[in-house]
Amino acid sequence: MTDTTKKTVAVNAAKIGGITAVVPLLFSAIPEPWSSVVASMILVCGGIAAAVPAPPVGSKWTLPYKLVSVIGLNFGWAVNHLGARVNASQGAIAPTNTTNPKN
């Protein structure tokens, strides 16, 4: 492993460790019947954001979609963003053919 790879692994491990430490602390601060409601809201909003494609720019649904995405913690490498990205080891995305093949 290179130094950069080791550093990336260490940073990711620190992020995961921080998240797994903070989430239980936050949920312990919420009264018991409500912690299940909050967790369910996060799960449902995350599922909706992953299943429903983003609305076009300027749509009246843009703000509600962003709100649902944030509540569902749908940011960064979330499920609905994976299709638009490429692993660096695979090289660049091939350009799409926008010309008419009959010409």
User: Taking the domains of the chain in order of start, what are their residue ranges?
Assistant: 1-30, 32-84
Res 94: pLDDT: 56
- pLDDT tens by residue, 11-34: 889 988 988 898 888 888 888 888
Give the chain's radius of gyration (CA, Å). Answer: 19
pLDDT at 57 over 70: yes
Res 85: pLDDT: 47
Res 4: pLDDT: 79
pLDDT at 78 over 80: no
Res 64: pLDDT: 92
Global pTM reads 0.57
The burial of 49, by beta-carbon neighbours within 10 Å (0-12 exposed, 13-18 middle, 19 or more buried), is given as buried
